[in-house]
Amino acid sequence: MKKIGLFLFGICFVLQMVAQEHNYFTNPVIRGDVPDPSVIRVEDTYYATGTSSEWAPFYPMFTSKDLVNWKQVGHVFTKQPSWTSNSFWAPELFYHNNKVYCYYTARQKSTGISYIGVATSDSPLHEFTDHGPIVEYGKEAIDAFIYDDNGQLYISWKAYGLDTRPIELLGCKLSADGLHLDGEPFTLLVDEKGIGMEGQYHFKKGDYYYIVYAAHGCCGPSSDYDVYVARARNYGGPYEKYSGNPILHGGEGDYKSCGHGTVVRTSDGRMFYMCHAYLKGDGFFIGRQPILQEMEMTDDHWVRFQTGNLAIAEQPVPFVGTKQEPLSDFEDNFKGNQLKVDWTWNYPYSDIHAVLKKGKLFLSGTPKNNNKYGTALCLRPQSPQYSCETKVINTGKGLKGLTLYGDDKNLIAWGIEGDKLILKVVKDDIESVLYDSAFASKEIYLKLEVEQGCIFHFYKSLDGKTWQSVQNTPFKGKSLIRWDRVQRPGLLHYGDKDVPAEFSYFKMKNLK
């Protein structure tokens, strides 16, 4: 009898483990630095996008059938809207009358002020048509959200963030086509305690209108972002802030911080909130990654998250039978006629010219804004432990090879420059050379490895199989972290635009 009991216990344990494996997923659901995510559902497909900041193309677009497994399929813009200069933040998707809208934040070229533009498309999978700025208000207008109140469209945004006065969430009616303000802005909610207020989401349930919003610091090593809620009986207020705020926070457990998101409803009416989070520890160096948690109503007409107010990585799957796919590596052999959708480049600092021909990438560009370090073509890392490698053809005198890129004044370059191999570190526009060696061969294989998100190793090879380290000790690169983004690995060219860098392949492998 005792053996039978142990046997049955073993079966139950195995079944329980199998059930757990198939009933839970682990955040983030979209890997890599994609802050301020927005998510919508069109029929049976979910679409998400997020901040692209100083990287082009603008606003990566992802699709999913189950909210857990996402694939990048394109961008909102492949060409920069003419009224903008940089800082592409906080896109908000809105599906209305069989048309997809994207309300987005960018700096206005003529003023340098962040305002809100709008673009439309007949599908999230197609290029969007830009209609220019829709909110030009004050010293800053960012983080748009659109709400349909029984046929009347409203837009809300964060205002006064750069003024010596409290931050406010402002609202205004929109025209029926969603392309113009209709009337004067009005106050929805005021940041009376000075803790921050942005990234808002509106919805109505029962007698109340709700605003779910982010508070505290969004970005960088000191980020303490969290999620608050307020409610009112009218869209215009007055709003009552929940005494139990924050309703979602990090600081303990899996996340350093979390916030700025929107809710998407499943076909059966359940609410799933997608926001971004900084992971704790090494994961911080991957940036603000989209996470998903189910939101529900309480008996006293507030909102809460199904797994509590402490944000945790493991969550119940939205749909029975969903299995989370493992993290995948990246490889580009440049066999097609255009770059893979994953690639991004440093558009404020360089125009790009990338040609794929006979299984090779020819990369060059024209530096802008006094950029001294050329064109960076990079990827979002998806793990704190990864390697990148490439084969470089040694033509021309310019610098070409691998990079870890923060911005034009904070980067690492590992490559060929003329007749030498060189490893450079640029910190706050001051250059240091870590390795310098004569090199006369026609081609070279280069590799970098990253551990703990910010510890870097560099290697060279003549055959792509036997690798030789070029350092005695690894380099620690925390200085590559910018206030709102993390370093990206990739390829670099700096030199004559008519003598491009020539690469035979690129691989990025997750090491853990």
Same-domain status, 309 and 335: no
- Over residues 73-113, the pLDDT tens digits come to 999 999 999 999 999 999 999 999 999 999 999 999 999 99
The pLDDT value given to residue 396: 84
* Number of domains the chain contains: 2
Query: So what's the pLDDT on residue 79?
Result: 97
467 in a structural domain: yes
Q: What is the mean pLDDT of residues 124-135?
A: 97
> Is 262 in the same domain as 157?
yes
Whole-angstrom CA distances from 93 to 33, 99, 264, 266, 373 are 18, 10, 11, 16, 35
* Residue where one domain finishes, among candidates 316, 347, 371: 316
pLDDT in tens, 376-385: 999 999 999 9
Strands of the sheet containing 303-305, edge to edge, are: 255-265, 271-279, 288-297, 303-305
Distance of CA 195 to the CA centre of its chain: 24
CATH code for the domain of 417: 2.60.120.200
For the cut 90, the answer to whether the pLDDT of residue 244 exceeds it is yes
Residue 1 pLDDT: 45
pLDDT band for position 438 (50/70/90)?
Answer: very high
Do 76 and 223 lie in one domain? The reply is yes
Coil, strand or helix at 217: coil
- Please state, in angstroms and rounded to a whole number, the distance separating the CA atoms of residues 45 and 60: 16
What percent of the chain has a predicted confidence (pLDDT) above 70? 96
Asked if residue 240 and residue 338 are part of one domain, the reply reads no
Please indicate, yes or no, if residue 9 is contained in any of the structural domains: no
SS3 313: coil
Average pLDDT in the 263-269 region? 97
* Whether residue 57 has a cis bond before it, omega within 30° of 0: yes
C-beta separation of 90 from 199 below 8 A? yes
Are 197 and 65 within one domain? yes
∠ CA(289), CA(293), CA(295), 5° rounding?
A: 140
Residue range of the domain that includes 346: 330-510
How many residues are recorded in the chain?
Answer: 512
Residue 260 inside a domain? The answer is yes
- Of 191, 198, 449, 484, which one is the catalytic site residue? 198
**pLDDT(406) > 60:** yes
Is 198 known to be catalytic? yes
Q: What is the mean pLDDT of the chain?
A: 94
Please check whether residue 11 lies inside any domain of the structure. Answer: no
Whether 5 shows a pLDDT value over 50: the answer reads no
Alpha-carbon separation of residue 363 from 160, 336, 356, 370, 476 (angstroms) = 42, 15, 9, 20, 28
| Residue 325 within a domain | no
Q: Strand order of the sheet with strand 99-107? A: 89-96, 99-107, 114-121, 129-135
Regarding whether 399 and 498 lie in a shared domain, the answer is yes
Dihedral sign (CA 280, 286, 288, 291): negative
Which tokens hold the place of 187? 């106050």
Which pLDDT value is given to residue 441? 86
Q: What angle do CA 295, 300, 304 make, to 5 degrees?
A: 20
67 vs 408: CA distance, rounded Å:
35
Name the nearest CA neighbour of 158 among 138, 132, 174, 176. Answer: 138
207 and 356 in a single domain? The answer is no
Residues 6+ apart with CB under 8 A from 249: 226, 227, 257, 258, 309, 310, 311
Q: Are residues 338 and 234 in the same domain?
A: no
Write out pLDDT tens, residues 416-431. 998 999 999 999 999 9
Residues 350 and 260 in one domain: no
> Mean pLDDT across the stretch 148-160?
98
Last residue of a domain, one of 284, 316, 348: 316
- Exposed, middle or buried: residue 158 (CB in 10 Å: 0-12, 13-18, 19+)? buried
Question: In sequence order, which ranges of 258-411 are alpha helices (DSSP H)?
Answer: none
pLDDT of res. 22: 56
Same domain flag for 284 and 416: no
Q: Is residue 3 included in any domain, yes or no?
A: no
Any domain includes 167: yes
pLDDT on residue 118:
98
Percent of all residues in the chain with a pLDDT value above 90, rounded to a whole number: 93
User: Domain boundary residue among 268, 288, 316?
Assistant: 316
Catalytic residue among 36, 54, 140, 226: 36
According to the model, what pLDDT value does residue 15 have? Answer: 35
Do 295 and 396 belong together in one domain? no
Q: What is the pLDDT of residues 313-369, one digit of tens each?
A: 999 999 999 999 999 999 999 998 899 999 999 999 999 999 999 999 999 999 999
Q: What is the pLDDT of residue 273?
A: 98
State the amino acid at position 386 in one-letter form.
Answer: Y
Q: What's the pLDDT tens digit per position in 12-42?
A: 334 334 444 559 999 999 999 999 999 999 9
Q: What is the CATH number of the domain that holds 209?
A: 2.115.10.20
Domain shared by 279 and 336, yes or no: no
Q: Domain for residue 221, yes or no?
A: yes
pLDDT at 440: 84
pLDDT over threshold 70, residue 143: yes
* pLDDT score at 2: 43
